[in-house]
Amino acid sequence: MLQLDNVSFSFAGDEGSDRSTTRTLSDISLLLEPDRVAAVMGESGCGKSTLLDLIYGLQQADHGTITWKGEELLGADHHLVPGHPMMKYVPQEFDLMPFTTVAENVGEHLSIQMKGREDRIKQLLEVVEMSTYVDRKVKTLSGGQKQRVAIAKALAEEPKLLLLDEPFSHVDNFRKNMLRRRLFAYVKEQKISCLIATHDKNDVLSFSDETIVMRQGAIIDHRETKSLYSKPKTIYVASLFDDVTVVPAGIFGNQEELLLYPHRLQISNKGYKSTVIQSYFKGGFYLIECQDKDQVLWVNHGSYLKPGETVFLSIR
């Protein structure tokens, strides 16, 4: 179990010695139960990577404690080499040895005498779909391929806690879905706890048991993913997943303000009258932007609608 208690952190000011007055992370407390996958979401600059850096020991907290199964994980002031044997981190700028092969990178920390070493490397390269590149020098790989090697390398030593920072940001869409399915299946099978900083709702909705939302260095919500997605408390949280219509009380006979994703509204023969502003092709449907005075509404619809057209909206 990973536990953070009242952790705060500020980067040192430009002058060097004094800590800046603005906190990068303030009063972070969280609990991650064993074998759980938790996503950390939030706008750019809210502190997601810094949080992972702190947990891994790349930075030193100003206040608070970080523990794993009750044992304190000490920060950067206490060791030269960050990390802990049970924990692996794949940061955004992953660290590989460019002039050695994919297999050598994945097996870098595995003992040469280890029984089944080759099989282990092979198995991990299958998880990240890099088996055919086993003997390729890392410097000849694309960014997405390197990212997959970095993930395999992190898994090699059987971590109990895996920290991933935007793990699929360099991977093309074609592979991303398969890679996500394989990686999270492996993580669950091996009972690895996982904390993943991401902007991508696809990492969150299908694969994260729980979601932590950060804003300006603080955690503003932390719940089971399904609950957080379907009952967002603020427009900030809802907007991390999709376009969102803020529906004031009364518009659809609702007693209080509602936050609705586009799939919750429909175009019908009667309802709230508004005008089409724009239709955006989304593949299997169109996202229609509608407006009535100051009220903007987002609705999914099966076909293109012309700007200026009058439509009536109701809740599905």
Ligand X SMILES: Nc1ncnc2c1ncn2[C@@H]1O[C@H](COP(=O)(O)OP(=O)(O)OP(=O)(O)O)[C@@H](O)[C@H]1O
Report DSSP letters for 37-96, one per residue: EEEEE-STTSSHHHHHHHHHTSS--SEEEEEETTEE---GGG-SS--BTTEEEE-SS---
Q: Who contacts 115 (Cβ-Cβ below 8 Å, separation ≥6)?
A: none
Number of residues that bind ligand X (CB under 6 A): 11
x/- mask, ligand X, residues 263-302, rule CB under 6 A, reads ----------------------------------------
Cβ 7 to ligand X shortest distance, Å: 13
Touching ligand X, residues 26-55 (CB under 6 A)? 42, 44-50
Q: Residue 57, interface with ligand X (CB under 6 A)?
A: no
- Binder to ligand X among 24, 105, 193, 274 (CB under 6 A)? 24
Cβ 11 to ligand X shortest distance, Å: 4
Question: What does the alpha-carbon distance between residue 37 and residue 216 come to, in Å, rounded to a whole number?
Answer: 23
x/- mask, ligand X, residues 142-181, rule CB under 6 A, reads ----------------------------------------
Write the DSSP symbol of residue 234.
Answer: S
Cα angle 202, 207, 209; round to 5:
125
Cβ 32 to ligand X shortest distance, Å: 18
* Cβ neighbours, 10 Å, residue 11: 12
x/- mask, ligand X, residues 112-141, rule CB under 6 A, reads ------------------------------
Cβ 42 to ligand X shortest distance, Å: 6
Cα dihedral sign for 58, 150, 211, 174? positive
Q: How distant, in Å, are the alpha carbons of 268, 283, 314 from that of 309? A: 13, 22, 16
Cβ 10 to ligand X shortest distance, Å: 9
Interface residues with ligand X (CB under 6 A) are 11, 24, 42, 44-50, 197
